[in-house]
Amino acid sequence: MIAFLSIFPLLLVLILLVVFKWPASRVMPLAFLITVVESYFYWQMSGIRIVAASIEGLLIAGQILYIVFGALTLLYMLFHTGLVLVIRDKFKAITPDPRIQVLIIAWSFGSFIEGASGFGTPAAVAAPLLMLLGFPAMAAVMATLIIQSTAVSFGAMGTPILIGVQTGLSGSQVVETYVSTTASIGDVSDLVFQIGAQVAILHGIIGTLIPLFVVALVTRFFGTNRSWKEGLEVYPFALFSGLCFTIPYVLFGVFLGPEFPSLFAGLIALVITSLSAHMGFLQPKNIWRFPDKKQWHKDWIGNARFEKIQTQPKRKSLFAAIMPYVIVTLLLVLARLPFLPFSSLLSSVVMPFENILGTNISINIKPLLLPGTLFLATVALCIPYYKISIQQSAFILKDSFSSLLKAVPVLVFSVPLVRIMLQTQDNNSGLSSMPIELAQAVADVAGVTWPMFAAVIGAFGAFVAGSNTISNMTFSLFQFDIGIKTHLSPIFLVALQAIGGAAGNMICIHNVVAASATCGLIGQEGNLIRKTMIPTAYYLLMAGIIGWLFVFWSG
């Protein structure tokens, strides 16, 4: 009963979104209300704490909206200056085939951006770029959501491992005893390094096929023939793209640590795949194209005002066109590299919200470190270079705000819902938090076969929290403790947790909403989740098979 109540709000969300095709703007307020009722009456959470958790959620939602607004502003600047035309023409000179374009931009470039910044930034940057090349909005969003899987565990310079796992394990007597009695581990940092190495290896095994999923899903759902085969035709280049990322990814993860695998592997893959496509290496014989826009289903099309903009660019060189992306990429990387002074400088400006309403719920916002600030800084730097007038600037801001407002009703309910669920550990009922109660129920049933299900709990955590970092923070100690009790490797179980947490990002509600907002696609959340559930299921199935093999070999 407790496990069912724990999952019921999210189960309702999935059923209404995916099965009944309700828009998230209708589903999330209902799910929020049910979560409030459950937390107050069954978990006996105080009313003040529920309100405080909701305020915490609103503050997080505000940060997400700020990131989306920055991405939209950058996007509309490209349209109002006509640079979209240059980007489209120059990139099509590299490869006119959308199947190859999506591998370069979504998989390689998106993974690089994930490594630099994380927090949903790849969709905010790469999805609009795909739209510039003529992708339907839904195809662009779907592709960039799918790639937020393999790269996620080491996103934002390794945050899900270095902050998520390490914070989740720190201070535990169980962990300290394990470290002190295991000769191959010096301290908790060394333990986290070893977990990160196993995460890299597991992702390397599973993630290599993700580019093939991306291109096959694009042709299946958005092609004239609705064909899986047309996507699978480019399997040589898709597998090549996967290996260009996962081979250096595993090497960096095993030998250098959690900070650099996604960042450096993404950069390596971007350079190699772009040059290879330009030279015709492993390219398909026939060029595949999307159907004519007149044949596009209405659900594919975002409501952003792109087609109305016909401005001819004043600067027509490739460098001038891609300069905003070069600047924002540099800013995202420079702001995160730990050996440079920029990260600590930007982190020094803090907006603290301590002990909200007298509870122990606190949140610190670092506005200068948010990707939204770096997007807006890029736009500000580009305004004089492109000679953007005050009137054009006003139109850019107006269009950005107009698109942003459509995401507000969803995020102001979905994120507070999540925070209430995570904060239910402080209650008068004697129960653990909703996520932990559900995880414990699954663990009790699974027993020693738990490695087959460990990744599912990680995905559930990411689906709830919208973050691999928070999922790892919530469940790492839980997974570690199960490993000790069942005499299975706790390092391996925490690694599976991180794998599942990365996979769960593909179907997380507010990730989907934020990505959709950058392409004007609000209201199609259920359609997107139905599509991204396919690679999510693949990821969790493969993790489960690896877990089963581990149990089998462990005797």
Q: What is the pLDDT of residues 150-178, one digit of tens each?
A: 999 999 889 999 999 999 998 888 999 99
Distance CA 352, CA 414 (A): 23
From 433, 521, 446, 513, select the one nearest 473 (Cα to Cα).
433
Averaged pLDDT of the chain: 91
Residue 129 has pLDDT above 70, yes or no: yes
Distances, alpha carbon 415 to alpha carbons 50, 485, 516, in Å: 13, 34, 16
Q: pLDDT at position 316, please?
A: 64
Q: pLDDT at position 157, please?
A: 85
Q: pLDDT at position 541, please?
A: 98
Instruction: Please name every residue paired with 352 in a beta bridge, in sequence order, or none if there are none.
Output: 364
Residue 280 has pLDDT above 90, yes or no: yes
Residue 390 near residue 336, CB atoms below 8 Å: no
pLDDT band at 363 (very low <50, low <70, confident <90, very high): very high
Average pLDDT value for residue range 403-431: 90
Q: What is the pLDDT of residues 228-256, one digit of tens each?
A: 999 999 999 999 999 999 999 999 999 99
Residue 11 has pLDDT above 60, yes or no: yes
pLDDT band at 322 (very low <50, low <70, confident <90, very high): confident
Give the three-state DSSP class for 44.
Answer: coil
Angle (nearest 5°) at CA 506 between 68 and 527: 85
Q: pLDDT at position 355, please?
A: 95
pLDDT band at 194 (very low <50, low <70, confident <90, very high): very high
**Residue 97, φ and ψ in degrees, nearest 5:** -90, 115
Q: pLDDT at position 305, please?
A: 56
Q: pLDDT at position 317, please?
A: 74
Average pLDDT value for residue range 493-513: 95
Q: pLDDT at position 313, please?
A: 64
Residue 72 has pLDDT above 60, yes or no: yes
Distance CA 427, CA 420 (A): 11
Burial classification of residue 360, based on how many CB atoms lie within 10 Å of its CB (0-12 exposed, 13-18 middle, 19 or more buried): exposed
Residue 7 has pLDDT above 60, yes or no: yes
